[in-house]
A and B are shown apart, each in its own frame.
Chain A
Amino acid sequence: MSGLFTEAFLTSLVLGALTAGLPLMLAGLGEQISEKAGVLNIGIEGMMLFGAYLGFLVAYATGSVWLGFLGGGLGGMLVAAPMALFCIRMGLSQIVIGIALTLGAEGLTALLHHFQFAQSYPRLPAVETLAIPGLSAIPVIGPALFDRPPIVYLAVLAVAATAYVFRSTQLGLALQAAGDKPAALDAAGVDVVRVRTFAVFSTGFLAGIGGAFMSQVGAGIFVPFMTNGAGFIGIVLAMQARGRPLWVLAGALLFGACLSATTALQVAGVSIPTDVIQMLPFAAVLMVLVLFGRRASLPPALGTHYVRGAR
Chain B
Amino acid sequence: MSDTTRIGGDVLPARRNGARRERARLVAMALLPVLGAIVLSGLVLLALGVNPVSYYGYVLDRGLLNPYGLQATLTRTGPLLLIAAGLIVAFRAGIWNLGGDGQFLLAAVIVAALGPLLAPALPVWLVLLAGLAVGALVGAAWSVLPALLKAYQGVNEIITTLMMTFLGVSFANVLVKLAFRDPATTVPQTRTLAVADRLPRLFDTTVSSGLLIGLVAIVAVHLLMTRTAFGLKLRIVGANPRAAIHAGLNVPLLTMATFAISAGLAGLAGAVEIMGVQGNVRADWNPAYSLTVVPLVFLARFNGFASIAFVFLFSVLSIGGESAARRTGVPNFFTLVVVAILLIMLGITEYLDQRRRAAGK
Contacts and interface: CB of A to CB of B under 8 A. Distances in A.
Interface string A99-138: 1110111111011001100000000000000000000000
A236 B331 contact: no
Contacts of A276: 170, 174
Main secondary structure of the interface of A (DSSP, over half): helix
Contacts of A95: 96, 158
A294 B156 CA distance: 10
A143 interface: no
A103 B336 contact: yes
Nearest to B298: A96
B336 A239 contact: no
A198 interface: no
B337 A104 contact: yes
Contacts of A235: 159
B343 A106 contact: no
A171 interface: no
11 contacts: A40-B158, A86-B347, A99-B343, A106-B336, A107-B338, A111-B333, A232-B162, A275-B173, A276-B170, A289-B155, A294-B153
A282 B158 contact: no
Size bin of chain B's contact surface: 35 or more
A114 B333 contact: yes
Interface stretch (B23-31, B64-72, B289-297): B289-297
Contacts of B167: 279, 282-283, 286
A309 interface: no
Contact of B98 (A99, A100, A101): A99
Contact of B336 (A104, A114, A296): A104
Interface of B: 7-8, 44, 48-49, 96, 98, 145, 149, 153-156, 158-160, 162-164, 166-167, 170-171, 173-174, 177-178, 291-292, 294-295, 298, 330-331, 333-341, 343-344, 346-348, 350-351
Nearest to B162: A232
Contacts of B340: 100-101, 103-105, 107
Interface residues of A, number: 46
A96 B350 CA distance: 12
A92 interface: yes
B159 A289 contact: yes
Given A104-B340, A107-B334, A285 B163 contact: yes
Given A101-B340, A232-B162, A275-B170, 14 more contacts: A91-B351, A95-B96, A96-B298, A104-B340, A107-B337, A108-B337, A114-B331, A236-B163, A275-B174, A276-B170, A282-B166, A289-B159, A293-B155, A298-B156
A65 B174 CA distance: 37
Given A289-B155, A293-B155, A97 B162 contact: no
B350 A92 contact: yes
Contacts, number: 140
Given A107-B334, A282-B163, A273 B177 contact: yes
Contacts of A110: 331, 333, 336
Nearest to B341: A104
Interface of A: 40, 42, 82, 86, 90-93, 95-97, 99-101, 103-108, 110-111, 114-115, 224, 228-229, 232, 235-236, 239, 273, 275-276, 278-279, 282-283, 285-286, 289-290, 293-294, 296, 298
Contacts of B343: 96-97, 99-100, 103
Contact of A86 (B156, B158, B348): B348
Q: Which of B145, B153, B159, B330 has the most CB of A within 10 A?
A: B159
A96 B145 CA distance: 24
B314 to A, nearest CB: 13
Q: Which of B166, B330, B339 has the most CB of A within 10 A?
A: B166
Contact of A93 (B8, B163, B171, B335): B8
Nearest 7 CB-CB pairs, A to B?
A107-B336, A104-B340, A100-B343, A110-B333, A107-B337, A92-B347, A293-B155
Nearest to A118: B331
B294 A99 contact: yes
A96 B343 CA distance: 7
A154 B263 CA distance: 43
A149 to B, nearest CB: 28
Contacts of A285: 163
Contact of A290 (B149, B166, B291, B295): B149
Contact of B160 (A107, A111, A224, A289): A289
Contact of B331 (A91, A104, A111, A294): A111
A28 to B, nearest CB: 13
